[in-house]
Structure 1
Amino acid sequence: MSAAGAPSDGTQLAASLLDEWRGEQDVNKCEALIAAIAASQDAARTDALMRIVEEGDAASRNFAVLAWQGLPAHEVLRGASLLESAHADARVLALSVLQAAPGRDVEPLLIGLLSTEADANVCAAAVELVAECGTRAASPALLAARERFAGNEFVAFAIDQALRQTGAGNE
């Protein structure tokens, strides 16, 4: 057993640390547990980080996002499953996680999200990421989102900027 009471062989380590995190009130200890989850070699560490993003307070959620961004790209991309969350804030945090993934892997996810997303804040976060890593391929989804959010000046402005940055606004 580890000092945290978790199995030391790496099996079930992330789940054990997650259970300990759920019962912890001290912010510093919560951060240490999240760091231990991310540092573990447990295959379930991304699932544990996902639960923290969905369940945690603001400090734990933000720390989990930062820890997750430091994982290998294939694990970062598992954050895409949070784009299906019923909670808009979890979808925004998923986009923050995906910032650490290669743009070529993220753009199709963003196109899919922009084609259907109903929340303006989630859409704005996705548009920001398209502006960073997107190509002209995102143009139809950006235009559809602009139409859907026609009454939201901020989203419309962000979309116009993303279109320019991807080269689609110059046509």
Structure 2
Amino acid sequence: MALIKTTSPLSPAPPPARDRLLDELRAVDAATRGCAAAALGSRGDAHAELLDAWDTEPDATVRLRLLTALATHPDEQVTQRLAQALRGADTVRRTELVDVLRELPGNAPAVVVLLDDPDPDLRIYALNALRMVPTPQALARVAQLLWDDPHVNVCGVAIEWLAEVGTPTQLPALHAVRARFPGVEFIGFAVDLAVARIGGHD
């Protein structure tokens, strides 16, 4: 009698690479999560998932890999969400965000709006994030801080910012902030340095 040929059940197809990597992004092992972040960054099609993972990731090394992955293929949505994340982040995470935002050439529109936030610490972090992208919009808004920001430390950082990338157009604002804080020695010193670097005359 001829043997009846039986067929074994088909093995389930492996999940698509993207789905597998997203699963690994939630793995218990930090190294696995970090490798998944790097792989997803190279794909460029998982921005939302990478951002969500960064929000809750406890491991600093993995968070760095997540942010590096996001910076690989940045777009306006990524930049906007990273900038907005500065509002609720703790000091460590704010520093991480500033580091990556500095590397995103189109960050100015998303970050400049933070200079209107009532939290002076957030305004300072925003200034630091803008240091590498002195666009005309950023220059104008930073100069405006010297005219009207009530917090002396914010003004001090803004002066340092203009000392690095300012132009003669911002000289009136520098002189104005000195007049606003006449008894604050470090403001006067910072203004002198900024004016000298820009090439004006005190």
- TM-score band by shorter chain is 0.7 to 0.9
Q: 2:95 aligns with which of 55, 62, 72?
A: 62
Cα offsets for 1:103-158 (capped at 9, x unmatched): 65532122112111111111111101111111222122112211222221111211
Return the TM-score normalized by structure 1. 0.83
TM-score (norm 2): 0.71
Instruction: Determine which structure has more spread, i.e. the larger CA radius of gyration.
Output: 2
Give the SS at the match of 1:99: coil
> 1:14–1:118: structure 2 CA closer, same or farther, 3 Å change rule?
farther
Name the amino acid aligned to 1:148. Answer: R
Query: Alpha-carbon deviations, 1:58-92, whole Å to 9, x = none?
Result: 232222212111122x3345321211122212211
Query: Structure 1: which 5+ runs fail to align?
Result: none
Alignment pair present for 1:36 and 2:65: no
More RCO (CA 8 Å, sep 6+): 1
- Percent identity (aligned): 31
- 2:7 corresponds in structure 1 to none
Separation in structure 2 between the aligned mates of residue 104 and residue 42 of structure 1, nearest angstrom? 21
Asked if residue 27 in structure 1 is aligned to residue 60 in structure 2, the reply is yes
Superposed CA RMSD = 2.4
Say whether residues 1:161 and 2:193 are aligned partners: yes
Alignment-mate amino acid for residue 71 of structure 1 = L
Which residue pairs with 1:131 in the alignment? 163
One-letter code aligned to 1:86: P
- 1:11-50: CA deviation from partner (whole Å, max 9, x where unpaired): xx43332222222222222222222222234431112211
